[in-house]
Amino acid sequence: MQHSYETAYGKSIDSPEQFWADAAENLHWYTKWNRVLDDTNPPFYRWFAGGKTNTCYNALDRHVDEGRGNDTAIIYDSPVTGVKERFTFREFRDKVALFAGALQSRGVRKGDRVIIYMPMIPEAVIAMLACARIGAIHSVVFGGFAPHELAVRIDDCKPKVIISASCGIEKDKVIDYKRLLDFAIELAHFKPEMCIIRQREKFRAPLNEDRDLTWKQALLGAEPVPCIPVESSDPLYILYTSGTTGKPKGVVRDNGGHMVALKWSMKHVYNVKPGETYWAASDIGWVVGHSYIVYGPLLNGNATIIFEGKPVGTPDPGVFWRIISEYNVSVFFTAPTAFRAIKKEDPKGSYIEKYDLSGLRSLFLAGERADPDTVQWAEEKLNVPVIDHWWQTETGWAIAANCMGIEPGKIKYGSASKAVPGYNVKVINQSKEELPAGQMGDIVIRNPLPPGTMLTLWNADNHFIDSYMSKYPGYYLTSDAGYIDEDGYLFIMSRTDDIINVAGHRLSTGAIEAELCAHPDVAESAVIGAADELKGEVPVGFLVLKSGVDTPHSQIIKHVIEFVRENIGPVASFKQAVIVDRLPKTRSGKILRGTMRKIANSEEYTMPATIDDPVILDEIKEALQLIGYAN
Ligand code: COA
Ligand code: AMP
């Protein structure tokens, strides 16, 4: 029966155990839970305690066993190589079972970690699900991260095996993943026992005989293996995300709560039925890829698309429309930045007219604030509801959305709509008072969070409490600021920490600053996210040099740009830095990054009362004007 949003939301908050127990009935459990919510050790809540299940079984085998084995599960479309493939649930289950057998025969056991550093190819998803099948914990690392970032993740989660590919293809560039991987392993203190490398036709990588196997070699002699029952709260994966320090945070996701929440969201948030094609144009290296390229659609019995390309340039700004029409995509999900890229190249939307998009019902956007211009352009050109929804790596699925499968609400531009059932969202001030409608403050979620949200940070329970649970006891701190209006609509305005959002990718300015300070001539640095028409924000660096440095400034800037690219990765899009005599600070020494950002973006700002020397702000403005900002 269709509920109204108010009824569903109210039930999820007043009787969460009943609400989620009902949702969990739709999945397969080897042993039923004995408590829906174990709240005996807050803030470490556990969903479906005592239950035993397997996420891979629910994503693949269940559909085969229920007679849907011949339905399409995976569509691989790679405009950068010209390859297109389709796999049914049965075919994909068989591939996953075999690869899981290969991992098991090489000693991978339940609880072992496996890093996956791969481009968007079917083997990446096979590797994820194979880990899930045998209870190993995968940690996918986005290919646009540099070896140093990969090394930090290797040292943190200590993988037994790393699975990678000989190369990735970025438009016309071939990225030598294997070389990056070898360098990362060299940098890391911890060494994996084995690497499995998918050799691709475009480029075959040289192998290290003592440590590396090709994908094909790994499969030699392997036997398919069945799914292993795991505890509901056993980790399914670790996904690293930027934190406020340079060190990434390893978000840990469980099996049971995750599968229940994702399956529920496919119907109630996205309104897709089993058998339909659902497409999230993201990368498996991000949470969107985990939840809505891999797990959500497969758990719901949908066909999902692995797209190895970009919104523009592979080969043109019509590729999204080609795919939607070719595979009859019902619901499409991407980041606003992808639409801005398309709109820039095809403002009239003439490529859209070439394709039959009549099967498309709605477009969901997330990853960054959806600017009203982009939303309106997409609405006008596609003629479907365009839904901004808000979530984070930590939550794994939407905190706020227009729940199309419950009761589609009106769309308010600039808002991510209302709290999704399960999330008791509040806006709070520094005095821990909940704020009335319309007032800006810290956005928090009352504990317990719903199923599917993070369990903890990998090997860092205290860091989990310090980062998320201690500022406002009883609430999860989202580190986003904003307000809720009279109608309950959420407006997400900015981050309250030093995270910036570059083309939908989350980056820590602290990590970039650490790279800038590693330059021998740099005494101090600051990084801000300046507004960018395409990417939303891009990082801009400020460097204060050590006294007596006579290296040409242009050379220092060139070097720090190279440092960031080599150590964090090209994905940081760090291309601009200026040299200044001093940084604006408060009298207590805090750098006024917020004010600098406002100056860069030519926004109004009030002179901070605590600034030590207001004249510095003029110097910052002049430096920014030289590189095209603050005009
Ligand atoms: N492996 C290796 N390198 C990668 C990579 C990967 N998987 N992904 C990106 N890079 C590189 C790119 O080649 C580029 O390198 P360059 O500086 O040599 O050109 C750099 O990282 C920045 O990439 P990107 O952020 O993709 O910017 P772009 O200018 O190439 O393309 C967009 C701009 C808007 C088209 C692109 O950012 C995009 O498609 N965004 C969608 C965002 C998204 O999916 N977000 C996920 C959350 S939903
Ligand atoms: P990530 O963990 O990479 O998914 O990034 C999460 C962050 O991206 C959030 O905390 C927000 O700052 C931002 N974000 C994601 N979706 C939205 C949205 N719809 N509106 C505004 N900000 C968003």
Quickly list DSSP for 4-64: PHHHHHHHHHH-HHHHHHHHHTTS--SB--SEEEE-SSTT--EEEET-EE-HHIIIIIHHI
Ligand 2 centroid–CA 289 distance in Å is: 14
Same domain, 300 and 169: yes
Residue where a domain stops, chosen among 451, 482, 513: 482
Q: Is the CB of 501 under 6 A from ligand 1?
A: no
Average pLDDT, the chain: 96
Segment 25-46 shows an average pLDDT of 97
Residues 400 and 281 in one domain: yes
Q: Is residue 494 one of the residues assigned to a domain?
A: no
Together in a domain, 107 and 225: yes
One domain, residues 30 and 148: yes
Query: Alpha helices of 319-389 — where are they, by DSSP H?
Result: 319-326, 336-345, 372-382
Residue 530 has pLDDT above 80, yes or no: yes
What is the separation of C-alpha 381 from the centre of its chain, rounded to a whole number of angstroms? Answer: 27
User: Both ends of the chain: CA-CA distance in Å?
Assistant: 56
Among protein residues, the one with the nearest Cα to ligand 2's atom 23 is 368
> pTM for the complete prediction?
0.96
pLDDT value of residue 1: 43
Average pLDDT over residues 282-310: 98
User: What is the predicted pLDDT for the residue at 171?
Assistant: 81
Question: Is 346 a domain residue?
Answer: no
Q: Give the pLDDT confidence score for residue 611 in this predicted structure.
A: 82
User: Which letter does DSSP use for residue 429 in this model?
Assistant: -
For tokens 């943190």, the residue is 156
The answer to whether the CB of 453 is under 6 A from ligand 2 is no
Distance in Å, CA 571 to ligand 1 centroid:
6
How far is the C-alpha of 524 from the C-alpha of 71, rounded, in Å? 58
- pLDDT tens profile 422-479: 999 999 999 999 999 999 999 999 999 999 999 999 999 999 999 999 999 999 999 9
Give the Cα separation of 416 and 96 in Å (integer). Answer: 36
CB 518 within 8 A of CB 588: no
Which one of 418, 448, 482 terminates a domain? 482
DSSP string over 370-389: --HHHHHHHHHHH-S-EEE-
Q: Could you tell me the two tokens for 194?
A: 């084995």
Which residue from 131, 139, 123 is spatially nearest to 101, judged by alpha carbons? 131
Asked if residue 330 is part of any domain, the answer here is no
CA 338 / ligand 1 centre spacing (Å): 10
Burial environment of residue 363 by CB neighbours within 10 A (0 to 12, 13 to 18, 19 or more): buried
Which structural domain range is residue 509 located in?
A: 503-626
Q: Which atom of ligand 2 is nearest to the CA of 499?
A: 12
Nearest CA to ligand 2 atom 19: 390
Residue 118 — pLDDT band, cuts 50, 70, 90? Answer: very high
Helical pair 509-517 and 553-567, crossing angle rounded to 10 deg: 130
**What one-character-per-residue DSSP string does 536-603 give?**
EEEEEEEEEEPTT--S-HHHHHHHHHHHHHHHT-GGG---EEEE-S---BBTTS-B-HHHHHHHHTT-
Distance CA 509, CA 527 (A): 6
Which region, left, alpha or beta, applies to residue 385 given φ > 0 means left and ψ of -120 to 50 means alpha?
beta
- Rounded CA-CA distance 52/309 in Å is 38
Asked if 62 and 179 sit in the same domain, the reply is yes
Average pLDDT rounded to a whole number, residues 18-35 = 97
Domain harbouring 44, CATH code: 3.40.50.12780
The closest of 137, 55, 299, 288 to 307, measured between CA atoms, is: 288
Q: Which of 46, 491, 70 shows the shortest CA–CA distance to 254?
A: 46
Same domain, residue pair 259 and 157: yes
What is the number of the ligand 1 atom nearest to the C-alpha of 287? 47
Q: Is the confidence at residue 116, as pLDDT, over 50?
A: yes
Residue 321 lies in a domain: no
CB neighbourhood size of 513 (10 A)? 24
Examine the domain organization and report whether 562 and 469 are in the same domain.
no
β-bridge partners, 123 = none
For ligand 1, mutation pick of 167, 170, 292, 316 (most atoms within 8 Å of CB): 170
242, 282, 390, 535, best to mutate for ligand 2 pocket (most atoms within 8 Å of CB): 390
Report the DSSP pairing between strands 522-532 and 505-508.
unpaired
pLDDT (tens digit per residue) in 531-561: 999 999 999 999 999 999 999 999 999 999 9
Query: Are 585 and 448 part of one and the same domain?
Result: no
- CB 338 less than 6 A from any atom of ligand 1: yes
The answer to whether residues 51 and 32 touch, using CB atoms and an 8 Å cutoff, is yes
Residue 348 pLDDT > 80: yes
Q: Whose CA is nearest to atom 40 of ligand 1?
A: 338
What's the gap in Å between 362 CA and the centre of ligand 2? 20
Q: Other CB atoms closer than 10 Å to residue 299's CB: what's the count? A: 27
307, two tokens: 């797209």
Domain count, the chain: 2
Q: Residue 2 pLDDT > 60, yes or no?
A: no
CA distance 486 to 167: 51
What ligand is nearest to the CA atom of residue 281? 1
571 lines ligand 1 (CB under 6 A): yes
Same domain, 61 and 139: yes
- Does ligand 2 have an atom closer than 6 angstroms to the CB of 389? yes
The residues, ordered by sequence, that sit 6+ positions from 353 with a Cβ below 8 Å of its Cβ are none
**For residues 6-21, average pLDDT:** 98
Q: From the CA of 451, how far away is ligand 1's center (Å)?
A: 31
Q: Looking at the domain assignment, is residue 78 inside a domain? A: yes
Q: What is the pLDDT of residue 612?
A: 82
Cβ(341) – ligand 1 distance below 6 Å: yes
Determine the Cα–Cα distance for residues 510 and 515; give it in Å rounded to an integer: 9
Query: Which class for 612: exposed (0-12), middle (13-18), buried (19 or more C-beta within 10 A)?
Result: middle
Ligand 2 centroid–CA 504 distance in Å is: 8
pLDDT in tens, 388-436: 999 999 999 999 999 999 999 999 999 999 999 999 999 999 999 999 9
536 close to ligand 1 (CB < 6 Angstrom): no
Q: Is 393 in the pocket of ligand 2 (CB under 6 A)?
A: yes
Looking at the structure, do residues 446 and 522 belong to the same domain, yes or no?
Answer: no
The answer, yes or no, to whether residue 3 has pLDDT greater than 80, is no
pLDDT grade, residue 267 (50/70/90)? very high
Q: Is residue 109 included in any domain, yes or no?
A: yes
Q: Which of 249, 282, 363, 368 to mutate to test the pocket of ligand 2 (most atoms within 8 A of CB)?
A: 368
Q: How many Å lie between the centroid of ligand 2 and the Cα of residue 384?
A: 23
Distance 596 CA to ligand 1 centre (A): 26
- Expressed in angstroms and rounded, the spacing between residue 157 Cα and the centre of ligand 2 is 25
User: 368: Cβ below 6 Å to ligand 2?
Assistant: yes
Burial 547-568 (b: 16+ CB within 10 A, else e): eeeeeeeeebbebbbebbbebb
Which atom from ligand 2 is nearest to the alpha carbon of 492?
21
Average pLDDT over residues 101-123: 98
Residue 502: which of 144, 245, 127 has the closest Cα?
144
SS3 category, 146: coil
User: Domain ends where: 482, 517, 538?
Assistant: 482
20 and 107 both lie in a single domain = yes
Atom of ligand 2 nearest to the CA of 494: 12
Distance 567 CA to ligand 2 centre (A): 24
- Examine the domain organization and report whether 247 and 194 are in the same domain: yes
- Residue 407 phi, psi dihedral angles, 5° rounding: -160, 100
Do the beta carbons of residue 162 and residue 117 sit within 8 Å? yes
CA proximity to 8, closest of 409, 411, 475, 474: 409
